């Protein structure tokens, strides 16, 4: 394993990478040099032999011609002075005799064929070189010019040359090449080791540093040495180490802070859970108490025959129901404030009227307790203001209710004054002072906290969830003010708050919120209005139908979202009350479908017991114009219906001539009315009710603009009834309308 690790190290790989190609290159060069040297030496040897034999051949012509052997030996001895020449032999062709000088073996020459003698040949470590000896005849001068006679062959000479010197030189050359190659490899290896060490040692140091850092020691710095790239790498590692150390310090600080915050949160959570347990226990008691009364007296009411006792049971049931509803409203208001705050309206209202109604509501309770209830509004407070009168009076109502509840004798006084006015804005100061028992000083700081009460035994005596003051604080903050309390034991308490409102422009009339008490006397507010009640609960359905019928509305019912979609597609509707949670298809999906299936879909008011902003936003995105909470308040329901209905709905018709009486010719008006009636006949004959709403709308518009009030009444009655009649009855009603138009006298 250690050997493999050493072999795989950068240093080893650098050596192998540099030395292996160099070694191969040296081997190739050495082989080439040795081979080339042999070729050169052999060529030199052959050149020496060829020169020597040619010189002997040219010098031995006369000696061989005259067969002077002594001269031949002298010539041969001179050639033997050449180091490589070992011997030579002359052959006289005319005399058929041989002369050998030096060390020469004639058998080697005689064993060769004459053709092989022309080229040098090698035998017994000797090279043999052959050359012919020719002579010219003296009688050449007697020949005619232009004729060249052939030379006369006198004989030949063979020179033997040894290759010992060649081999010695070759061995010396090989040794020199090997020495040079080895020395070059050693020098290259030394240089490669130095270079590799200059790279591998810094890398090894960096590796050791990284291993140490990985083990957890971040205080170590990597040495910045070696080539520029390695120095940059070491610098980067050191910067990274510094960043990690700093991050660890910050992380430890954050962990310590988060741990401390977690401990605080755990303490708060324990307090919240304890408060939740207390709240659940309190709510269980407060909800069960009125529910017990409602259930018990409902059973007694069913079996009671005495009118006086039945009236008393109804009164107790009503009072218990109001107590239960008030507590639920407090919880819902608090939940809404915690979820996303309150949305304030900006409408003009008369502060005197609203305060008078507020005192009228709380007056009977104060009289029962023997308290004097009065209020004063300073003269510097304008009568007409712009703001949210419902939220404004809700704060005063909550404070007034608490004051009446916790005051046994004396009275309660409401004071409203103006403390600042700038441009068109005004700041009001409102206070509610009572002569009750007062509040302990140590309880005042937590008085506006949710579910807190000055005395835990209060809810046993008076009831309540402990959310009223918390809601008041949220409302006051939403109106740009603050709420305070000043109290002394035995001397009563003063709750005061400020709020910012706007001054109403006398030249401009803003929408005003009607007093809810004024709506109760108007029993025909919804006359001629068709309302679809989409509610799956049969008791809620019956309650809403009976309530709306008392105001003159015609009601249709749907038990689920699918039925609501079908009815809205087939029949004319002025408004839809849509419960959010229904079987088959829920209210949100049904609302989206109804809005998308027709461009003139009726306005939709959502009904729900869920107060979360998610439900409200989802329903508004689906197309609902507003949302009402269950249990439905009668005044809010009627006010909401009159707000979303078109201006023409439920209004008395004019008996005079309409706008078109002086513009549109009578024949053109009749043709338009008959054309609409023909379309009605076609739709009814083909059982296609999708376009009936639009046709009826056109008829109502034409009759209203021309002042044909009786015709409009007939069309409105048909609009309200056509969904419940069969095709024949609907056709007869259309014919009745047609006859009315024919008999109408156009002035």
pLDDT in tens, 598-607: 656 789 999 8
pLDDT > 50? residue 268: yes
Among 152-156, 327-331, 386-390, 728-732, name the one with the lowest average pLDDT.
Answer: 327-331
Structure tokens that stand for 500 in this block: 């910012």
What is the DSSP code string of 99-127? EEEES--HHHHHTS-HHHHSS-EEETTEE
- Give the model's confidence band at 660: pLDDT under 50 very low, under 70 low, under 90 confident, else very high: very low
**For the chain, what is the total number of helices (H) and then of strands (E)?**
23, 17
pLDDT > 60? residue 500: yes
Structure tokens that stand for 448 in this block: 């506006």
pLDDT > 60? residue 656: no
Is it true that 246-335 and 517-644 share their CATH fold?
no
Among 14-18, 150-154, 235-239, 590-594, name the one with the lowest average pLDDT.
Answer: 14-18
Helices within 369-467 (DSSP H only): 389-405, 458-461
Mean pLDDT of 523-551: 82
Q: What is the pLDDT of residue 412?
A: 92
CATH topology of domain 1-138+149-217: Beta-Lactamase (3.30.450)
Mean pLDDT of 377-391: 87
Distance of CA 746 to the CA centre of its chain: 67
What is the DSSP code string of 335-382? HHHHHH------EEEEHHHHHHHHHHHHHHHHHHTT-EEEEEE-TTS-
Among 181-195, 484-498, 530-544, name the one with the lowest average pLDDT.
Answer: 181-195
**Intra-chain end-to-end CA distance of the chain, in Å:** 118
Q: What is the pLDDT of residue 483?
A: 92
Range ranked top by mean pLDDT from 7-11, 327-331, 397-401, 703-707: 397-401
**Cα 117–119–123 angle (5° rounding)?**
70
Distance CA(484)–CA(482), nearest Å, equals 7
Q: What is the pLDDT of residue 482?
A: 92
Mean pLDDT of 626-647: 79
Q: Give me the residues paired with residue 492 across strands.
A: 488
pLDDT > 90? residue 497: yes
DSSP state, 723? G
DSSP state, 512? B
Q: What is the pLDDT of residue 516?
A: 42
Q: What is the pLDDT of residue 693?
A: 64
Among 106-115, 358-367, 566-575, name the one with the lowest average pLDDT.
Answer: 106-115
Pairing of strands 575-579, 604-608: parallel
pLDDT > 90? residue 429: yes
Distance CA(624)–CA(616), nearest Å, equals 9
Q: What is the pLDDT of residue 632?
A: 76
Distance CA(337)–CA(473), nearest Å, equals 10
Mean pLDDT of 722-727: 69
CATH topology of domain 341-507: Heat Shock Protein 90 (3.30.565)
Distance CA(626)–CA(643), nearest Å, equals 10
How high is the mean pLDDT of the chain?
Answer: 76
Distance CA(375)–CA(354), nearest Å, equals 12
Mean pLDDT of 685-706: 65
Is the CB of residue 544 less than 8 Å from the CB of residue 538? no
- Give the model's confidence band at 651: pLDDT under 50 very low, under 70 low, under 90 confident, else very high: very low
433 closest CA partner among 452, 406, 393: 406
53 closest CA partner among 127, 157, 150: 157
417 closest CA partner among 375, 386, 471, 389: 375
What is the DSSP code string of 160-176? EEESHHHHHHHHHHHHH
Buried-state track 514-543, b at ≥16 Cβ within 10 A, e below 16: ebeeebeeeeebbebbbbbbbbbeeebbeb
> Hey, where are the domains in the chain?
1-138+149-217, 246-335, 341-507, 517-644, 659-743
Mean pLDDT of 434-454: 76
Render pLDDT for 32-53 as a digit per residue (tens, 0 to 9): 888 887 788 888 888 888 888 8
DSSP state, 553? -
CATH topology of domain 246-335: Helix Hairpins (1.10.287)
Structure tokens that stand for 256 in this block: 């310590």
pTM of the model: 0.41
Strand, helix or coil for residue 578: strand
Q: Give me the residues paired with residue 189 across strands.
A: none
Q: What is the pLDDT of residue 498?
A: 94
Candidates 3.30.300.20, 3.50.50.60, 3.80.10.10, 3.40.50.2300; CATH matching 517-644? 3.40.50.2300
- What number of residues does the chain have? 747
**Residue 533 phi/psi, 5° resolution?**
-100, 100
Render pLDDT for 79-98 as a digit per residue (tens, 0 to 9): 888 888 888 888 888 877 78
pLDDT > 80? residue 54: yes
Is the CB of residue 48 less than 8 Å from the CB of residue 62? no
Strand, helix or coil for residue 535: coil
Structure tokens that stand for 519 in this block: 């709506």
C-alpha distances (whole Å) from 7 to each of 2, 4, 20, 298, 550 are 9, 5, 14, 97, 101
């Amino acid at each position: 394993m250690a050997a493999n690790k050493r072999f795989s190290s950068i240093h080893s790989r650098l050596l192998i990478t540099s030395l292996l190609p160099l070694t191969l290159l040296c081997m190739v060069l050495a082989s080439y040099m040795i081979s080339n040297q042999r070729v050169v030496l052999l060529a030199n040897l052959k050149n020496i032999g060829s020169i020597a034999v040619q010189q002997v051949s040219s010098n031995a012509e006369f000696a061989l011609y005259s067969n002077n052997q002594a001269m031949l030996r002298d010539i041969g001895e001179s050639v033997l002075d050449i180091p490589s020449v070992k011997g030579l032999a002359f052959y006289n062709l005319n005399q058929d005799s041989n002369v050998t000088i030096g060390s020469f073996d004639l058998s080697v020459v005689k064993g060769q064929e004459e053709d092989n003698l022309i080229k040098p040949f090698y035998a017994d470590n000797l090279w043999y070189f052959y050359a012919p000896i020719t002579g010219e005849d003296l009688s050449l001068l007697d020949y005619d010019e232009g004729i060249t006679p052939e030379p006369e062959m006198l004989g030949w000479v063979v020179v033997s040359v040894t290759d010992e010197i060649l081999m010695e030189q070759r061995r010396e050359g090989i040794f020199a090449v090997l020495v040079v190659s080895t020395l070059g490899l050693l020098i290259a290896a030394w240089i490669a080791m130095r270079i590799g060490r200059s790279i591998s040692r810094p890398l090894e140091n960096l590796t050791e540093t990284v291993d140490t850092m990985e083990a957890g020691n971040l205080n170590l710095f990597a040495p910045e040495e070696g080539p520029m790239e390695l120095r940059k790498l070491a610098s980067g590692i050191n910067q990274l180490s510094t960043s990690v150390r700093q991050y660890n310090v910050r992380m430890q600080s954050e962990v310590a802070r988060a741990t401390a915050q977690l401990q605080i949160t755990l303490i708060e959570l324990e307090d919240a859970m304890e408060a939740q347990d207390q709240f659940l226990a309190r709510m269980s008691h407060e909800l069960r108490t009125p529910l017990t009364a409602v259930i018990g007296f409902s059973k007694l009411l069913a079996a009671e025959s005495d009118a006086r006792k039945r009236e008393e049971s109804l009164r107790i049931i009503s009072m218990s129901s109001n107590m239960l509803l008030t507590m639920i409203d407090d919880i819902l208001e608090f939940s809404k404030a915690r979820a996303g705050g309150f949305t304030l309206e900006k409408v003009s209202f008369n502060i005197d009227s609203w305060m008078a109604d507020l005192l009228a509501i709380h007056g009977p309770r104060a009289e029962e307790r023997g308290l004097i209830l009065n209020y004063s509004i300073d003269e510097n407070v304008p009568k007409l203001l712009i703001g949210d009168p419902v939220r404004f009076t809700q704060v005063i109502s909550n404070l007034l209710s608490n004051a009446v509840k916790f005051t046994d004798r004396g009275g309660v006084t409401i004071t409203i004054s103006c403390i600042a006015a700038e441009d068109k804005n005004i700041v009001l100061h409102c206070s509610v002072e009572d002569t009750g028992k007062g509040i302990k000083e140590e309880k005042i700081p937590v008085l506006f906290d949710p579910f807190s009460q000055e005395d835990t035994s209060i809810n046993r005596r008076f009831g309540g969830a402990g959310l009223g003051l918390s809601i008041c604080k949220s409302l006051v903050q939403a109106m740009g003010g603050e709420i305070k309390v000043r109290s002394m034991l035995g001397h009563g308490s003063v709750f005061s708050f400020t709020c910012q409102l706007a001054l109403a422009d006398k030249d401009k009339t803003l929408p005003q919120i009607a007093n809810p008490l004024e709506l109760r006397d108007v029993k025909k507010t919804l006359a001629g209005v068709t309302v679809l009640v989409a509610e799956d609960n049969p008791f809620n359905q019956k309650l809403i139908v009976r309530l709306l019928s008392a105001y003159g509305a015609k009601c249709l019912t749907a038990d689920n979202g699918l039925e609501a979609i079908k009815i809205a597609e087939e029949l004319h509707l002025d408004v839809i009350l849509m419960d959010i949670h229904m079987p088959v298809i829920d209210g949100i999906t049904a609302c989206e479908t109804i809005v998308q299936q027709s461009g003139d879909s009726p306005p939709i008011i959502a009904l729900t017991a869920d107060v979360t902003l998610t439900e409200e936003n989802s329903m508004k995105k689906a197309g609902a114009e507003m949302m009402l909470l269950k249990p439905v308040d009668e005044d809010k329901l009627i006010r909401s219906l009159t707000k979303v209905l078109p201006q023409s709905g439920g209004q008395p018709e004019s008996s005079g001539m309409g706008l078109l009486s002086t513009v549109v010719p009578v024949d053109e008006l009749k043709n338009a009315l008959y054309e609409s009636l023909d379309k009605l006949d076609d739709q009814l004959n083909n059982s296609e009710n999708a376009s009936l709403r639009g046709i009826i709308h056109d008829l109502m518009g034409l009759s209203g603009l021309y002042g044909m009030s009786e015709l409009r009444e007939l069309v409105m009655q048909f609009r309200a009834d056509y969904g419940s009649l069969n095709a024949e009855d609907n056709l007869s009603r259309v014919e009745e309308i047609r006859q009315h138009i024919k008999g109408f006298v156009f002035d």
